[in-house]
Amino acid sequence: ILGDTTYSIIGGIPVNDPQQFPYFAFWSVGCGASLIAPDMLLTAAHCQEGYEDPISGRLVYLGSTGLKQGIKRRVVEMLVHPSYSTPTSLAYDMMLLKLNASATHYWIHNEAGEGWSRLSNRLSLAPLNPNYVRPQSGDELMVVGFGSTSNTGNLVPHLQHANVTKLDDKACADAYGGAYHQPSMICAGNVGRDSCQGDSGGPIVNNDGVQVGIVSWGIGCAQPDNPGVYSRISAARWWINDIVCRKSCYPP
Ligand code: 4AZ
């Protein structure tokens, strides 16, 4: 499926306009994430390995295409998907991170009384499809992150993005056998283009800009016949809605 072994987000290009992914967040444990509520990020559950105490991996950065730049927040709570079990079976590799404060609004006292104000026009929430709609095979998706462009595991200083094509479940299962958990995963790839180490937890979006997945795993990066595997967001809409409603109660 993938015909080239160039490691480089592999084969990507720099994100020049911060408004292209105004919901992208970087978690200082070395993972991407997306802002889905004013004080809530969506990322991969496996990013918590070694950081089970939120204090040890607590900083997140939002609103910048530069690594560890932009608006800073702290992670105060990690909420792992209830069906995520172990790092060896990456089914439901999803987690929500509650932040110490809203990243998009702040509370003010003014003559009209207390109210919410915009903190930054640079940030907005990631659009998630509310209707459990699955991405289709052949869909052109776009993945974004500060992950390795050379398969070294090193992060890059400037945010990158790459186009990858969603494959059908059979192609994913052919590549990965039983490790491909069809109910909670999708896979995608293109010759010479892939997500890689350090991109985990970050968003993959469709042509309409809707986030459909989360960077999760793969064998190597951009290797022939080893597409990138992503957690499928439509498999967990009930859980996301439930946690956001319970944990993030901000107007508007
Ligand atoms: C990783 O180690 C990783 N090519 C992320 C994505 C992919 C492989 C590995 C997909 O975080």
Q: What is the pLDDT along the chain (252 residues), one digit of tens a residue?
A: 233 333 339 999 999 999 999 999 999 999 999 999 999 999 999 999 988 887 877 899 999 999 999 999 999 999 999 999 876 789 999 999 999 999 987 766 666 666 766 676 789 999 998 888 999 999 999 999 999 887 777 899 999 999 999 999 999 999 999 999 999 999 999 999 999 999 999 999 999 999 999 999 999 999 989 999 999 999 999 999 999 988 886 554
The residue whose two tokens read 């991170």 is 97
Say whether 46 is catalytic: yes
Torsions phi, psi of 175, nearest 5?
-75, -40
Question: What amino acid occupies position 220?
Answer: G
Indicate the top mutation candidate among 143, 172, 180, 215 to test ligand 1's pocket, ranked by most ligand atoms within 8 A of CB. Answer: 215
Q: Which residues contact 235 (CB under 8 A, 6 or more apart)?
A: 92, 183, 184
Task: Decide: pTM greater than 0.80.
Answer: yes
Q: Are 41 and 100 in contact (CB under 8 A)?
A: no
Helical spans, DSSP H, in 40-177? 169-176
Per-residue model confidence as pLDDT tens digits over 170-218 = 999 999 999 999 999 999 999 999 999 999 999 999 999 999 999 999 9
What was the ipTM of the complex prediction?
A: 0.94
Residues in contact with ligand 1 by the CB-under-6-Å rule are 194-197, 199-200, 215, 217-218, 221, 228
Using DSSP's 3-state secondary structure scheme, residue 250 falls into coil
Indicate the top mutation candidate among 144, 200, 226 to test ligand 1's pocket, ranked by most ligand atoms within 8 A of CB. Answer: 200
